[in-house]
Amino acid sequence: MNKIRVRIAPSPTGYVHIGNFRTMLYNYLFAQKNGADFVVRIEDTDRKRFVEGSLEGLLKVLDWAGFKYAEGPCLEKRAGSFESKNYTGVFEAGVFQPYIQSERLELYQKYARELVASGHAYYCFCEPERLGKLKEEQRAKKQAPMYDRFCLQNVSEGEINKNLKSNCPFTIRLKIPTDEKIEFADLVRGKVSIETSNIDDQVLLKSDGFPTYHLANVVDDHLMEITHVIRGEEWLPSTPKHILLYQAFGWEIPKFAHLPLLLNPDRSKLSKRQGDVAVEDYIAKGYLKEAIINFVALLGWNPGEGSTQEIFSLEELIKKFDLEHVHKGGAVFDLQKLDWLNSEYIKKLPLNELYENSMEFFAQKYFYQNASEEKKSEEYLKKVLTIEQDRLKNLSEVGEHNKFFFTDIKYDKELLRWKKITDKELTASLEKSISVLENISDDDWTRENLEKNLLQAAGDKPARNATHSVAGGRGDLLWPLRAALTGEQKSPSPFEVAWVLGRSEALKRLYLAIKKTFDLK
């Protein structure tokens, strides 16, 4: 048996769609699980959709994800690699070079002519205007738009030769056999059967000499000895055309596996209209690589056997992945699930790693940019992150809900008041907090000491409520303290905030709060 070989064949048409990233991931997991070769090929023959820089972008995503491969384009020079003819700074490594389709045009043209010679394809000289009119007429009759085989039935061999000699523009179309049934076993969907009467005579070679996806895909998969084609469900209707091409060439047909669509929560096809769909968007928002891979792996697959496990390392995914447990139905992209997974991974990060990963996001924040040098220090930022770590959904949120750590605060003086507390009680409360904090030295300024001393000062009386008005409850001390330190209705505990701010800044804010209480009277 030949060694298993799989490939991913993304097109450089923009950012990396989450669906394409899932295809990359599933191919990579399948390859790692089965000791297979993982090949990267670039399908850039659709020049109308080509986006400058996107090839390099998708190679960067592969590097970011850690999907190692020995064959295909890469951004660094490797042993035996050469620089791409069409892309400066891109190198190609592997025995089946080149791996970029725009550099393989002569191959496709050669095989297209072979199909014509064997009677499995034919030249088409129809102009775009005729084809457009034909489609309009068919749609008006509520017929499926299909080519009417005008050139196959009405253009003689002599006319073909004359047109070719005069450089008349042409395409080459696949001659679909009539009244046949194409059947194949899909590794995800099971038995698939399609009547050839429903298949159009697909263009294989365009008038500009570039192949369509169908021809290039089959030629490359054969020449690169691909044994398993794992791709999105949108290519399922094209598979019979590809099988016909394999049969026409007399080549061995690979095994196919078509992955389910990704859906919005309303079950519509995942699209930009309802949120971000590019991997780069989520990287830019501070979602961790491990969380994205974990989340995307579960979009259409589960480990089976009644497993309730939701958090997987890449090593666990490789060990457990198989195509048998890929779903047939569409998979819903649940952003809340991604947020939860990402928060779980953030919680597990060592503080040093969290700090390093967060710096690029801090640097984007205006409150950080305008903060004092002390508040930009590694020590201070690590304190902030220690408090925020368990609350973050993604790294772009760093500091966002606690700007009071970086800026001077402004707030309405009434924010200091806790329920029915009087002006006199409020002033006394703040003075008590000051007294407690002044008696804690810089050396002893820890969260534990702050919490212990402040709670001891607050006493153990219950907080006030609508029916209970006993003075001296914990809220009487802790609410004014927290409001004075943050200027916010909601924030981390006053012990945590005071610890981050430090002794000098915490006392400074309390003195300012005392001043506000005199304005209340």
Rounded Cα distance between 26 and 20, Å, is: 10
- Within this chain, do residues 186 and 244 fall inside the same structural domain, yes or no? yes
Q: pLDDT grade, residue 460 (50/70/90)?
A: low
Task: Give domain status of residue 338, yes or no.
Answer: no
Number of domains in the chain: 4
Q: pLDDT grade, residue 61 (50/70/90)?
A: very high
- Within this chain, do residues 48 and 174 fall inside the same structural domain, yes or no? no
Task: Give domain status of residue 20, yes or no.
Answer: yes
- Within this chain, do residues 79 and 172 fall inside the same structural domain, yes or no? no
Q: Could you count the other beta carbons within 10 Å of the beta carbon of residue 519? A: 7
- Within this chain, do residues 180 and 250 fall inside the same structural domain, yes or no? yes
Identify the CATH number of the domain in which residue 435 sits: 1.10.10.350
Q: The tokens of 509 are what?
A: 């804010």
- Decide: 123 and 164 in contact? Cβ < 8 Å: yes
- Within this chain, do residues 84 and 48 fall inside the same structural domain, yes or no? yes
Rounded Cα distance between 496 and 506, Å, is: 11
Q: Pick from 259, 288, 320: which residue ends a domain?
A: 259
Average pLDDT over residues 187-215: 95
206 is catalytic: no
Task: Give domain status of residue 339, yes or no.
Answer: no
Task: Give domain status of residue 127, yes or no.
Answer: yes
> Taking 50 as the threshold, does the pLDDT of residue 466 lie above it?
no
- Within this chain, do residues 200 and 303 fall inside the same structural domain, yes or no? no
Q: What is the pLDDT of residues 467-513, one digit of tens each?
A: 444 445 789 999 999 999 999 999 999 999 999 999 999 999 999 99
Burial of 285 (0-12, 13-18, 19+ CB in 10 A): middle
Q: Tell me the residue range of the domain where 477 lies.
A: 413-520
- Within this chain, do residues 193 and 125 fall inside the same structural domain, yes or no? yes
E strand or H helix that includes residue 192: strand 190-195
Q: What is the pLDDT of residues 7-27, one digit of tens each?
A: 999 999 999 999 999 999 999
- Within this chain, do residues 98 and 110 fall inside the same structural domain, yes or no? no
Task: Give domain status of residue 193, yes or no.
Answer: yes
- Within this chain, do residues 253 and 111 fall inside the same structural domain, yes or no? yes
Cα separation values, 413 from 149, 409, 427, 476, 497, Å:
82, 12, 12, 15, 19
Q: Pick from 299, 332, 365: which residue ends a domain?
A: 332
- Within this chain, do residues 149 and 213 fall inside the same structural domain, yes or no? yes
Percentage of the residues of the chain whose pLDDT score is greater than 90: 88
Rounded Cα distance between 462 and 451, Å, is: 17
- Within this chain, do residues 267 and 253 fall inside the same structural domain, yes or no? no
- Decide: 71 and 58 in contact? Cβ < 8 Å: no
Identify the CATH number of the domain in which residue 152 sits: 3.40.50.620
- Residue from 3, 181, 269, 272 carrying the catalytic annotation: 272
pTM comes to 0.92
